[in-house]
Amino acid sequence: MSRPRGSSGSWRARQERDPYVQRARREGWRSRAVFKLEEILTKEKLLKPGMLCVDLGAAPGGWSQYVSARNTGKVRIVAVDLLPMDSLPDVEFVQGDFTEPDVLEQMLASLNGEKADLVMSDMAPNISGTKAVDQPRSMYLTELALDMARQVLRRGGSFVCKMFQGEGSDAFILDARRSFGRVKVMKPAASRASSSEVYLVARNYQL
């Protein structure tokens, strides 16, 4: 989870007051981001038994944890992140930058030749607090996630990706529409109202 530099005290205080942080702790989830994914997957009905899922920017593992918990023993997840992540049922974790050839090779080997039903990305850059710097960084990550989705999704598969509204976001949505039958933008209740954070939800991937 990224946060503005030089504001760790106020960030921690806000986290302690956050009802979603408190709820995540009570229910044993690894992050408050679980509730964003829960709303998206519930409304869009994207979970199904036997699915193969790819989780980009997975650490600390909240999204993988949620999918695994909802489909216990009936899902396979390949999770990737630069940071380490504690193990989870049904999850194979690959640590590293998936844009690096050796990490990508390891990730694709974990898929074992299968195509994914769902690719999800909660990736975000380390926030500097300067929009002119942060927005291009965030859009670069969304573009990487979309490229990966196009590489590993099966026909008819789905893609869920965090993005920040601003320069480049409209073009990104148009680009996604070239590959998916239906694309929408959602702002889950757990996303802070003051944030430009939204989620692109794309369904029915067209090879």
Q: Is 181 annotated as a binding residue?
A: no
Q: Is 97 annotated as a binding residue?
A: yes
Annotation marks residue 36 as catalytic: no
* Strand ranges of the sheet holding 91-95, from the earlier edge strand across to the other edge: 91-95, 75-81, 51-56, 116-121, 153-164, 197-205, 180-186
What's the DSSP call for residue 49? T
Q: Is 90 annotated as a binding residue?
A: no
Instruction: Spell out a b/e string for 63-86, using b for 16 or more CB atoms within 10 Å of the CB, else e.
Output: bbbbbbbebeeebbbbbbbeeebe
Q: Is 63 annotated as a binding residue?
A: yes
Q: Is 102 annotated as a binding residue?
A: no
Cβ count near 149 (within 10 Å): 26
H or E segment to which residue 38 belongs: helix 34-44
> Of these residues, 48, 115, 131, 162, which one is catalytic?
162
Map residue 130 onto helix, strand or coil. coil
User: Which amino acid, one-letter code, is at 198?
Assistant: V
Q: Which residues are annotated as a binding site for S-adenosyl-L-methionine?
A: 61, 63, 81, 97, 122
> What are the residue numbers of the active site?
162
Q: Which residues are annotated as a binding site?
A: 61, 63, 81, 97, 122
